[in-house]
Homo-oligomer: A and B are copies of this chain.
Amino acid sequence: MAEGITEAGGKTRLYVTAALGAGLSVPLSGPQAHYLLHVMRARAGQRVMLFNGRDGEWLAEIDAITKRGVTLTCRTQTQSQAAVPDLWLVFAPIKKTPSDYLTQKATELGVTLLQPVMTRRTIVARVNAERMAANAIEAAEQSGRLSVPEIGETVSLEKLLAGWPNERRLFFCDEAGATATACDADPLAKAARPAPAAILTGPEGGFDPAERALLRGFSFVTPVTLGPRILRADTAALAALAIWQSVKGDWV
């Protein structure tokens, strides 16, 4: 996964892959070094926040600037790596602009995995996983997250369901006739740390009847409604994620 760089609330916040810890050196090169030096006009002694998805968030200081890049040293841990709700978004790929938007918003809303799934009515043939990863990193940097969502390899709906982990509830946003709302469903999960969950949204044309029947046959699937209006695919995904976070996730 590529490293990113972004301004968040006046602080430069960077996702890196290197280990972070008191006194550890973090070398940056390529686009991140370029951004620090030529966009932020950073100098030795300036401070940057770093996170890597494992070691929390660290305040780091720029030590050395050379032709090959920038070296920072971790000074103080500003946040420890906390457990976050384990929430996947499984979605039928959509066009480029709404897909960028969906990646950004789903990252802000705290998903841990973005899983593209091919359905019968999906008309987008190819997922640009690199572009999705870059958007996810940027959104993670800006939103103050301590990790970046994974981007799953695209699979067919049938294959995904065949290998589905039983303990992970799959909330299927069913545009044709669910009765539970995403808020009602599985209220017991509200109590302690939420159980692993996933939201599933279809393509613009919806799921076909055979897919709906297939989904409803699995015990780990809970069909949920998102109201009487026709929502675009990206709207449906974001609405369901927000509702889940507000009822069972880390907004409670």
Contacts and interface: CB of A to CB of B under 8 A. Distances in A.
Given A235-B105, A242-B239, A229 B181 contact: no
Interface string A171-212: 000000000011100000000000000000000000000000
Nearest to A105: B235
A143 B251 contact: no
Contacts of A228: 144, 250-251
Contact of A243 (B108, B229, B246): B246
Interface of A: 8-9, 101, 104-105, 108-110, 142-145, 181-183, 225-232, 235, 238-240, 242-243, 245-247, 249-252
A251 B235 CA distance: 14
A235 B108 contact: yes
A246 B108 contact: no
A82 to B, nearest CB: 9
6 residue pairs, one from A and one from B, having the closest CB atoms:
A239-B242, A227-B251, A143-B229, A183-B246, A144-B230, A243-B246
B182 A231 contact: no
Nearest to A231: B108
A229 B101 contact: no
Contacts of A230: 8-9, 108, 142-144
Contacts of A235: 105, 108-109, 238
Contacts of A182: 246
A110 B235 CA distance: 12
A231 B143 contact: yes
16 contacts: A101-B101, A105-B238, A109-B235, A143-B230, A144-B229, A144-B230, A181-B247, A182-B246, A183-B183, A183-B243, A183-B247, A225-B251, A228-B251, A239-B246, A243-B243, A243-B246
Contacts of A181: 246-247, 251-252
Given A108-B232, A232-B108, A227 B249 contact: yes
A192 B235 CA distance: 26
